[in-house]
Chain A
Amino acid sequence: MGSKTPLYDNHVEAGARIVDFGGWDMPLHYGSQKEEHHAVRRNAGVFDVSHMTVVDLSGERVRDFLQYLVANDVAKLKEYGKALYTCMLNPEGGVIDDLIIYFVADTEYRLVVNAATREKDLAWIRKQAEAFSVRVVERAELAMIAVQGPKARELAAPCVAGEYRDSALALKPFNGMFAGDWFVARTGYTGEDGWEIVLPAAEAPGVWDRLLAAGVQPCGLGARDTLRLEAAMNLYGSDMDETISPLEAGLNWTVAWEPTDRDFIGRAAIEKQRESTDRRRFVGLLLEDKGVLRNHQKIVVDGVGEGEITSGGFSPTIGRSIALARVPAGDYDQAQVEVRGKLLNVRIVKTPFVRNGQVRIDV
């Protein structure tokens, strides 16, 4: 038996198929993964993401510390509550994890890191934090609920305490705020509008029940994966890991090269890679033949070389198979994927595949 989130009983009650995910007993789906997916694109769905790791940092030098720890620059965060997506790198430029950083106060930041990487992340953060006298506190006692979809904020707003409700509804994308014990942020992992709410564990089951009663669809990890794939959001462990730099995972936009004298871990390694001309591309693929693209399938680019699918699956919104893939350098927009001994045709497309309910590629 794995660890259970405060919402485990709610999942069982809602008919979830429970699977192990990084040591946690989590819902895969509650009957139909596709219906859950569509609910988020068209209305609203709720995900238990309490398995994710919330870490609070505090100290006089916490900003200096984060400017050293991660590849993006927290100096971009000018207003309280603002969020930043970034990677922490090892000295070789590989990704230890991707994370979101919230600017809470001048001497306080909140991090949300992945569940499966919890132990190594905490060890790494604590080790680097020593030199900056930054206090690192894991908030394992908190639950986290993501409510996502075009109607998500409207349907979830009555759950937020009245005195904070209007401010929460006024949050701009990628901003968060404390609402008493709660932290409400307009962020997510689906390509739709919505909130991620960090709240005391004891309150989570009641909020979950209220959301379901309001017509919000409970959604499992299965739908979470197809939604994030359509939105072309990377998954740690699939699209990048400690041997892959952000530059080969489509995350160039999360690296702050300026100011040039900011010394973050891994900088020298990825600067060298930035200048190289044979760096692999990270692309979106649309399958033109029938079938389904899957992780680790081999890509063949005629006359150029081979690559690999890092995240592949079926897109319920498009009704075709899509993938994220690492492919050889070069200027081309057609390739083939080896599926059970046959070569199927794929087209390289600009991501995201889907955003805010709309298909963004030509199909």
Chain B
Amino acid sequence: MSELPGDLLYTNDHEWLRRESDGSVTLGITDHATSALGDLVYVELPEVGQDIDAGGEMAVVESVKAASDVYAPVAGSVVAVNEDLSDDPEKINADPYGDGWIVRMKIGDFDESELMSPDAYQQLLDELDD
């Protein structure tokens, strides 16, 4: 298992979140999620401008095996989606924390303590391995 990026926050559902300097957040799924899903073949993205509730469906990722919902860990409004994924969903497998980002959202205030630090998420992964 590769090292987790230290500048991200993580969720129980194996999503990651990065705070950008303009106050928006970038969201994606973790390496653990991509290896559990297998090769991705299709990503259904939200519309730019769409409002999404915390816990609401943000995207659907489909692998050769199955379709999985990706949930927004925080409420916000979509300001950008990764259009490259339409033609090349495997970018998520190849680079889940970089080129494989999924959605950028503008958000209000939120409580970071509801998300996991890299250390806490690593601990969750270690427990899943046992």
Contacts and interface: CB of A to CB of B under 8 A. Distances in A.
Interface of A: 28-29, 32-34, 222, 226, 290-292, 294, 313-314, 316, 321, 340
A290 B83 CA distance: 14
B62 A314 contact: yes
Contacts of A32: 38-39
Interface in B94-116: none
B41 A292 contact: yes
B44 A291 contact: yes
A316 B44 contact: no
Contacts of B42: 290-292, 314, 321
B50 interface: no
B86 A290 contact: yes
Given A29-B38, A33-B39, A291-B44, A314 B67 contact: no
A34 B64 contact: yes
Nearest to B42: A292
6 contacts: A28-B38, A32-B38, A34-B64, A226-B64, A292-B41, A294-B67
Interface string B55-67: 0000010101111
A294 to B, nearest CB: 7
Contacts of B60: 340
Contacts of B65: 28, 33, 222
Contacts of A321: 41-42
B67 A292 contact: yes
Contacts of A222: 38, 64-65
B64 A314 contact: yes
A321 B67 CA distance: 13
Contacts of A28: 38, 65
A143 to B, nearest CB: 26
Nearest to B57: A340
Nearest to B93: A32
A314 B38 contact: no
Nearest to B39: A34
Interface string B67-85: 1000000000000000000
Nearest to A320: B41
B41 A314 contact: yes
A189 to B, nearest CB: 17
A238 to B, nearest CB: 14
A321 B42 CA distance: 10
A316 B41 CA distance: 9
Nearest to A220: B38
A4 to B, nearest CB: 21
B38 A33 contact: yes
A32 B93 CA distance: 10
A291 B42 CA distance: 6
A344 to B, nearest CB: 11
B76 to A, nearest CB: 22
Interface string B20-42: 00000000000000000011011
A291 B65 CA distance: 13
Q: Residue among A290, A314, A340 with the most chain B CB within 10 A? A: A314
Q: Lowest 9 CB-CB distances: which A-B pairs, in order?
A: A314-B41, A292-B62, A34-B39, A33-B64, A292-B42, A314-B64, A33-B38, A33-B39, A32-B39
Nearest to B65: A222
A314 B64 CA distance: 6
A298 B44 CA distance: 19
Contacts of A291: 42, 44, 62
Contacts of B86: 290
B95 to A, nearest CB: 15
A313 to B, nearest CB: 7
Q: Residue among A32, A292, A294 with the most chain B CB within 10 A? A: A292
